[in-house]
Amino acid sequence: MVRISEEKLKELIKNKIHKAGLTEEHAAGVADVLAHADMRGYHSHGAMRVEYYAERIAKGGITHNPKFEFKKTGPASGIFEGDNGVGHVAAIKGMEEAIKLAKESGIAVVGMKHISHSGALSYFVDQAAREDLIGISMCQSDPMVVPYGGAEPYYGTNPIAFAAPGKDGQIVTFDMATTVQAWGKILHARSKKESIPEGWAVDENGAPATDPFAVKALLPIAGPKGYGLMLMVDVLSGILLGLPYGKHVSSMYADLTKGRDLGQLHIVIDPAKFTDIESFKEHLSASMQELNDSKPAEGYDMVNWPGQRSAAREEKNRENGVEIVDDVYNYLVSDVVHNNKYDHKDPFAE
Report DSSP letters for 84-132, one per residue. Answer: EE-HHHHHHHHHHHHHHHHHHHSEEEEEEEEE-----THHHHHHHHTTT
8 Å CB contact between 286 and 170: no
Residue positions annotated with a catalytic role: 117
More confident residue, 202 or 26: 26
pLDDT at 347: 62
pLDDT at 307: 96
- Confidence class for position 256, pLDDT limits 50, 70, 90: very high
Which range among 16-30, 76-90, 142-156 shows the weakest confidence by mean pLDDT?
Answer: 142-156
8 Å CB contact between 184 and 218: no
Domain-by-domain residue ranges, the chain?
Answer: 2-275+311-333, 279-307
What is the per-residue pLDDT across 159-169, written as a single tens digit (0 to 9) for each? Answer: 999 999 999 99
- Say whether pLDDT at 322 is over 70: yes
What is the per-residue pLDDT across 24-77, written as a single tens digit (0 to 9) for each? Answer: 999 999 999 999 999 999 998 999 999 999 999 999 999 999 999 999 999 999
- List 202's β-bridge partners, or say none: 208, 217
Q: What is the mean pLDDT of residues 123-151?
A: 94
Number of Cβ within 10 Å of residue 101's Cβ equals: 24
H-state helical runs in 254-301: 277-293
pLDDT at 348: 66
Instruction: Tell me what the pLDDT averaged over the chain comes to.
Output: 95
**The domain defined by 2-275+311-333 carries CATH number 3.30.1490.20:** no
- Confidence class for position 186, pLDDT limits 50, 70, 90: confident
- Confidence class for position 298, pLDDT limits 50, 70, 90: very high
For residue 292, give every residue at least 6 positions away whose Cβ sits within 8 Å of its Cβ, in sequence order, or none: 302, 303, 304, 305, 308
pLDDT at 149: 83
